[in-house]
Amino acid sequence: MENQQKRQSRETKNISVGHDLHQFDYSDLLRWNKQWVAETLAEDPDYFKKLSKGQNPPILWIGCADSRVPANQITGTNPGDIFVHRNIANMVIHTDMNMLSVLDYAVSVLRVKHVIVCGHYGCGGVLAAMSHKQFGLIDNWLRHIKDVYRTHSDELEKIADETERRMRLVELNVIENVYNLCKTSTLQNAWKQGHELSVHGWVYSLETGIINDLNVSFNSDEKLGSVFKFDAK
């Protein structure tokens, strides 16, 4: 009976797959919220009391805004575990005050141990950047991905298969954004101060649910191009 109820509630909440979206009302979310609170309290009556005392997440996640790539669900983690920043195509742009503020707070105040840039194959932002179509304001944001393409055009244009080329650009975009993280004064200062902090680049597969570690991890500015290195303050 309990399993049946759980199965039913999962099916009801799956609003965008196999259901008519016109049947969905936003107030359903509020109803499901109450249901989730009741289920959570049934398992642990102190759950919210404990979580409300503060956060101490060991991870900062920089991911895509795509609705299919939620940080907690795909890593099997819970509220309180991951500090999250998401934008279109998981970008680290050095003039983005939002990203920089999240990064600085996560590193300097929360003292996270890992920063993960997680892209995903089939990313609409990357696909749009590979096209010549105009999408509006977002074209200015996607320009950064076109720059990644230009930097790696020799490698990319040798890939005959279009799907494989798109997948590789998704990976290269993550790698470039990992480098962009390493270039920030926030990370460089943290490393200079002996803060044990690693940066990683991952790509999630929408088709399998598996995360591919691109093995581009850094825990110092050792390999950073000299022009990007700052002196100690």
Cα(125)–Cα(141) distance, rounded to whole angstroms?
A: 9
For residues 120 and 170, the answer to whether their CB atoms sit within 8 Å is yes
Question: Catalytic residue at 68?
Answer: yes
- Measured between alpha carbons, how far is 5 from 158 in angstroms, rounded to an integer? 52
Residue from 147, 198, 196 nearest 176 by CA = 147
Q: Is 145 in the site for Zn ion (CB under 5 A)?
A: no
Q: Would you give the DSSP letter of residue 218?
A: B
* Shortest CB 150 distance to Zn ion, Å: 20
* Spatial contact of 102 and 111, defined as CB atoms under 8 Å apart: no
Q: Which residues pair with 59 in a beta bridge?
A: 82, 114
Shortest Å, Cβ 69 to Zn ion: 7
Tell me which stretch binds Zn ion (CB under 5 A): 62-70, 93-101, 141-149, 219-227: 62-70
Nearer to Zn ion, 64 or 178 (CB): 64
- Near Zn ion by CB under 5 A: residue from 59, 60, 62, 64: 64
C-alpha span between 233 and 231 (Å, rounded): 6
Cβ contacts of 190 within 8 Å, gap of 6 or more:
107, 108, 197
Min dist CB 21 to Zn ion, Å, is 20
171 binds Zn ion (CB under 5 A): no
Q: Which residues pair with 204 in a beta bridge?
A: 120, 211
Among 59, 62, 66, 171, binds Zn ion (CB under 5 A): 66
Q: What x/- string results for residues 99 through 128 when contact with Zn ion is judged by CB under 5 A?
A: ------------------------x-x---
- Residue number with CB closer to Zn ion (57 or 125): 125
Name the segment binding Zn ion (CB under 5 A); options: 60-68, 176-184, 186-194, 213-221.
60-68
Which residues form the catalytic set?
64, 66, 68, 120, 123
Contact footprint for Zn ion (CB under 5 A): 64, 66, 123, 125
